[in-house]
Each structure stands twice: as structure tokens, then as C-alpha cells.
Amino acid sequence: MTPRTRLAFPHPLSLLVGSVLVAAALPPSLTAQEPEAVYRARREALVRTWVEPDGITDSATLRAMRTVLRHRFVAPELRYLAYEDGPLPIGYGATISQPYIVALMTQAVRARPGTRVLEVGTGSGYQAAVLAEIGCRVWTIELVAELATSARRRLRELGYAAVEVRHGDGYRGWPEEAPFDAILVTAAADSVPPALLAQLAPGGRLVMPVGPSEGLQHLLLVEKDPDGSRRERRLAPVRFVPLIRP
């Protein structure tokens, strides 16, 4: 099935204003203090309504999407939106990706227990948590120091203490831990950074949005064959914030 168009990461300010307007119209029962059973039911509805119908069939990915507490990765006042299929602002001009996009990227790299994964763009830590829930070994890099600190703390609190979080330049990757079986980049660039391609293991997969910072991009899957040659395929049209350097 061809996925529906996902424009990930709209302008954070416009999204936040829209969220505040929606919050003002909500009944008092929809608050940040919903019982866990309600959040669990919403996760299930999210997967059944938005994730499975658009071609996400990998059982490990679907199980992780049903398990990871996405509402813990957003601000309390936005938790009522945590299980809608949309991005949400997390501060510092960043957002948490749409659940469908997280699932698509996770499925694309064929995440499995023991898979060595590099993530560029930690954000709130949600994508890293999904990978860790599957059993991957995850190294994740975040340019914004405050986001790196809060993501590290959040991941530990939720039991994903094995995820390694680094504050630094994602363009450089994490050379001392390379090679990686999978690399996910959660911000867009005009092309895949050479250092990341070099750190991808033979037989590995890299997925990232490629295209102009202002305009439509494409989620690109790069597969490195055992002989070092590469194959590329576009997965879906998207819109991500740009991958920036210090």
C-alpha cells in the first residue's frame, strides 16, 4: 500500500498556536492527568487507525509503537494530543515526529534485537525509545544541549538507560562506535553526510529526509551492499526541520 503523504515537522510556532486553541475548546476531562489505561487505549487506536493501514507491517515495530509511552515525551499540557498522528513542539525550534513517520523509519531500517543503531537528532528521545523497546543498541546525537540532557533523563526514567545520548554535531556521526547496522537521521539535508555513509556497515540501512529546508523533501532509504556499493530509494514525501551544524 502506498503511504499517505506525511509532512513531518511543520513550523513549530504555528503548531503550538493551533494546539493552544484546541486546548481551550476541550472538555475538562481531557487533561494531562489521564489514567494510563486511557493512554494505552489511545496508543492502540493510533496504531490501528494510522500506522497499520499505511503499510507498517513489521511486528517488532508495531509492538514498540503500542508499548512506548509517547505522552511522556511531550509537555504535560500537550499530552492530550500525544496519540494523534501529528508532530508536536518540544521547544528550541524542534518537534517530536509523527508516529507514522517514526514507525516508517523504524521499519525501513529493519530494527531487530541487537541491531546497532545511530540516530542523529535525539529530540525528545521518542524515536530512540522505540528502537530500544525493540531491543536495539542505540547511540543518539543531539545538537541542542538542553534537549540532549532532558532526553537522557527521560530515557533513564522510562527504563531505556542503555541508550547512549551525546550532545554534539550529527554531521560527524559517532566514529568511535562505528560501524552501525542502521542509521536514522531525523532532520533534513540536501544530501546524506559523507561521514554517516562511511559509518554505515556493509549490509546496513540508512534513512533520512533529503531536500531543501524550505519545501518538500523525500524520506530516502540508502542500502549499503556487502561490497560497499549503495542503492537508494525514496519512501515518502515529508517535511522535516533542517539538519544544522554548531
Taking the chain, what is the end-to-end CA distance rounded to the nearest angstrom?
39
Mean pLDDT in residue range 68-88: 96
Residue 28 has pLDDT above 60, yes or no: no
Residue 77 has pLDDT above 90, yes or no: yes
Residue 11 has pLDDT above 90, yes or no: no
Residue 32 has pLDDT above 80, yes or no: no
Q: Which of 244, 120, 97 is nearest to 182 (CA)?
A: 120
Residue 34 has pLDDT above 60, yes or no: yes
pLDDT at position 35 is 87
Residue 13 has pLDDT above 70, yes or no: no
Mean pLDDT in residue range 107-122: 98
Mean pLDDT, the chain, whole residue set = 89
Give 2-7 contacts, CB < 8 A, sequence gap 24+. Answer: 2/55, 3/54, 3/55, 3/100, 3/104, 3/235, 3/236, 4/54, 5/236, 5/237, 6/98, 6/100, 6/101, 6/104, 6/236, 6/237, 6/238, 7/216, 7/237, 7/238, 7/239
pLDDT at position 228 is 87
Mean pLDDT in residue range 231-236: 96
pLDDT at position 12 is 34
Give the catalytic positions in this structure: 97
Model pLDDT for residues 151-186, shown as the tens digit of each residue: 999 999 999 999 999 999 999 999 999 999 999 999
Mean pLDDT in residue range 90-108: 96
* Domain 12-238 part of CATH 3.40.50.150: yes
How many other CB atoms are there within 10 angstroms of residue 167's CB atom? 17
Phi, psi of 211 (to 5 degrees): 150, 180
